Amino acid sequence: MLRKKVCLVGYGSTEYSRKSDRPLLSYYAEAMQNAMAQTGLTKKEINGFSMVTQASPDYSPYVAEQLGLELDWVLNGDCGGAGAVCAIRRAADAIEAGYLDVAFIVAGNAFDKNVSHQRVLEYQRANYVDVYGYGGPNTLFALVQRRHMEEYGTTLEQIGKIAVSQRFNAGPNPQALLRTPMTIEDYLNSRLISDPIRLFDCVMPCSGGECVVVASEERAKQITDKPIYLVTDAEKIGFQASNMLPDKTVTGMSVVGEHLFSEMSRDNIDLLAIYDDYPIAVMMQLEDLGYCAKGQGGPFVDDHDLTFAGDFPVNTGGGEISVGQAGLAGGMLHVVEALRQLRGEAGERQVNAAQTALVTGIGWLSYARNLNTTAALILERRS
Amino acid sequence: MAGKSLPAVNEIDREFWEGAAKGELRLQRCRACGKMQFFPRIACTDCLSGDLEWVPVSGKGKVHTFSLCRVPRNRAFMDEVPIYVAEVELDEGVRMVTRIVGDDRDQVTLGAPVTVTFMETEDPDIKLPVFELA
Ligand SMILES: [Zn+2]
C-alpha cells in the first residue's frame, strides 16, 4: 500500500553516553525538546505520543502524564528493535484515520538506578535457552552466522567489511561513541565473544534518546518546508513461527521487501538505514530485501562501497555498532539518520542528492529460528 | 551470587522435565494433526488444538549449528567456558537449543550425528538434555 498524506516533519536527539545516571525520562524530554525546537511545535499541538523502550516498566499514559501531555492517541511500542518503525506505522495509520495530526515518537535507554532492567524473560528463553549458559543475542546471532558461513561460503572478511565501512561513516558523526578508524585486521583480531561472533560484531549498550515527529500532510506543510513523506511501509512478525525446521538464514524481511518493492524499484533508493545489531544482520537483510540472492550477501558486499560517499550507502552515520545502542532508540537512530540525509542536514557525511531512503527495524530472535519482528519504511523528499 | 540458570518448571512443560530427570527425551505431539513440536507449548502450532500428548523420542539427531560461547549472559556459567551451545535437529523433525558435551566436543561440525545424554544441575530434580557426538 502506498501512503498518501503522512510526513515525518522533524527529529531530536540527545548525546549518547556509556556511563550516565540520568533517568530515562530526561532523555525523552530532551529529545522531544530538541524536536520541538526544530519544528517550532508547542506542547499543546502534540496530540499523539508513543514511546519505544525496554528499559522502563512504565506505561505510556503514565509517562505522558509525567511529561504533561494531553493526548488523543498513545502507544507503547513493543516490537523490540523493530519498535521504532512499527510505532511510526501505527501513528501513520491513526493519522490517516483522522484520530490525530501530530505524533511525537520517542525511544531511549538509560542505566537508571531507580528502575529495574531485569525484566522477566519469557518462558521459552528462560526454560530452554538460558539453562545452557548461552551468551544472549551474541550467541543467538552466532548460531545464525555460522549457518550462513557454512551454507554459502560467506567469509569473515565480507561480514567485517560492513563493520569497517560503518566505522568509517561514524568518523564525521559527533553523536557516535566509536569514531576511531578501524581496519579489517582490527575486526578480525577482536576477541571472540561467542564464536564466530567477535567483539567488533557487537553493539555497545549506552544511554541516549531519539525523537521523531509524524504529522498529517496538511500540518506538515505548516510545520516545515522540508517534510519527508512516508511512501510505503510493511512489517512481518513471527516469520516461520510454526515451522519446526525453518531455514535459519532467511528473515521476515523477505516478505517485507516484497511488499515494499511491489510498487517501486529498489534502484530508486539512494541510501539504506539497516538495523545493525550485528553485521550479519545487515547482510541477511540486504539479501532478503532482494538486493542480491539469498547467500550472495558476501559477494554483494565485496562489489559495493558501503560508505556515505560510495555507490551503495548503508548506515551513513555509523549505525548502532559505531554510534552505540541506546536500547530501542537503536531503531529510531536509523529513522533520524535517514531524515538528516533527506533534509540535507548530514554535514560532512551527506549523501549527494539523497531523495529516497529505506529504513529497517528488526527485533528479537525466535527459538531456534531467526528474527521475530521485521519492519521497514521508505521515506522520500518531495520538492 | 546467583547460581546457574534453571528452568522454572510449569504446567505446560512438567512432563518434559520429568522425562529428562528419568533419562528420557519427550516431545509434544498433537493428537489432532500429528505434528511434533518443541519447545513445549499450550497448543499445537499448526492446528491450535490443545489435545497434545507426550511421546518419548530416539534422542538421535544431527548438529544444525553451534557457537562457542565465551561470555555467558549468566556469569555463573563462566567456569564452563567455552560452552558449546548448539542447535540439534532431531530425527523426529524438530530442532532444540542445547549443548554439545564430551571430551571430543571440539571435533563438532555442522551435520555431525549426535545422541542425547542428560546433564546434572545444581537442582537434583533437574537434568538437562545435552548431546554427545555419536
Ligand atoms: Zn495439530
pLDDT the model gives residue A45: 95
pTM: 0.94
**Assigned C-alpha cell, A294:** 539469498
For B77, the closest of A133, A144, A368 (CB atoms) is A133
- A240 or A145, higher pLDDT: A145
A77: enclosing H helix or E strand: strand A73-77
- In whole angstroms, what is the distance from residue A377 CA to residue A361 CA? 9
CA distance B46 to chain A (A): 6
- In whole angstroms, what is the distance from residue A276 CA to residue A76 CA? 23
Please state the φ and ψ torsions of residue B131, each to the nearest 5 degrees: -130, 145
pLDDT the model gives residue A1: 81
In sign, the C-alpha dihedral spanning A321, A173, A30, A105 is negative
- Per DSSP, the residues of A165-201 read HHHHHHTT-TT-S--S---HHHHHHSPEEEETEEGGG
pLDDT the model gives residue A186: 98
CATH 3.40.47.10 holds for A134-199+231-381: yes
Structural domains in chain B?
11-57 (no CATH), 58-134 (2.40.50)
| Mean pLDDT, rounded, of chain B | 96
**Whether residue A329 has pLDDT greater than 60:** yes
Q: Which residue of A has its CA nearest to B5?
A: A131
Please judge whether A131 and B5 are an interchain contact, meaning their C-beta atoms are less than 8 angstroms apart.
yes
- In whole angstroms, what is the distance from residue A361 CA to residue A272 CA? 12
**Assigned C-alpha cell, A249:** 538464514
**Whether residue A226 has pLDDT greater than 70:** yes
HSE on the CB side for B127, CA within 13 Å?
A: 17
**Whether residue A381 has pLDDT greater than 60:** yes
Q: What is the dihedral of CA A239, A243, A249, A254, to 10 degrees?
A: -30
Mean pLDDT of A105-119: 70
pLDDT the model gives residue A115: 52
Please judge whether A126 and B7 are an interchain contact, meaning their C-beta atoms are less than 8 angstroms apart.
yes
CA distance B58 to chain A (A): 17
The burial class, CB within 10 Å (0-12 / 13-18 / 19+), for B83 is buried
- In whole angstroms, what is the distance from residue A6 CA to residue A17 CA? 33
Give A19's pLDDT tier (boundaries 50, 70, 90).
Answer: confident
- A170 or A79, higher pLDDT: A170
Give A123's pLDDT tier (boundaries 50, 70, 90).
Answer: confident
For B97, the closest of A147, A242, A368 (CB atoms) is A368
Interface test with chain B among A118, A124, A139, A370, by most B beta carbons within 10 Å: A139
Sequence-ordered list of residues with C-beta below 8 angstroms from that of A383, at least 6 positions apart, any chain: none
Mean pLDDT of B112-120: 98
Mean pLDDT of A308-331: 97
Mean pLDDT of B95-113: 98
- Tens-place pLDDT, residues A45-102: 999 999 998 766 678 888 888 788 889 999 988 888 999 999 999 999 999 999 999 9
A268 by DSSP, 3-state: which?
A: helix
Of B35, B67, B62, B63, the closest CA to residue B48 belongs to: B35
Residue A134 with chain B: CB contacts under 8 Å? 69, 72-73, 83, 85, 97
- B45 or A286, higher pLDDT: A286
Question: Do the domains spanning A6-112+207-230 and A134-199+231-381 agree at the CATH topology level?
Answer: yes
Which of A51-60, A221-230, A316-325 comes out lowest in average pLDDT? A51-60
**Assigned C-alpha cell, A317:** 552515520
Q: Are A315 and A337 in contact (CB under 8 A)?
A: yes
Looking at the domain covering A6-112+207-230, what would its CATH class be?
alpha beta
- In whole angstroms, what is the distance from residue A379 CA to residue A339 CA? 8
pLDDT the model gives residue A117: 42
Q: What ranges do the domains of chain A cover?
A: 6-112+207-230, 134-199+231-381
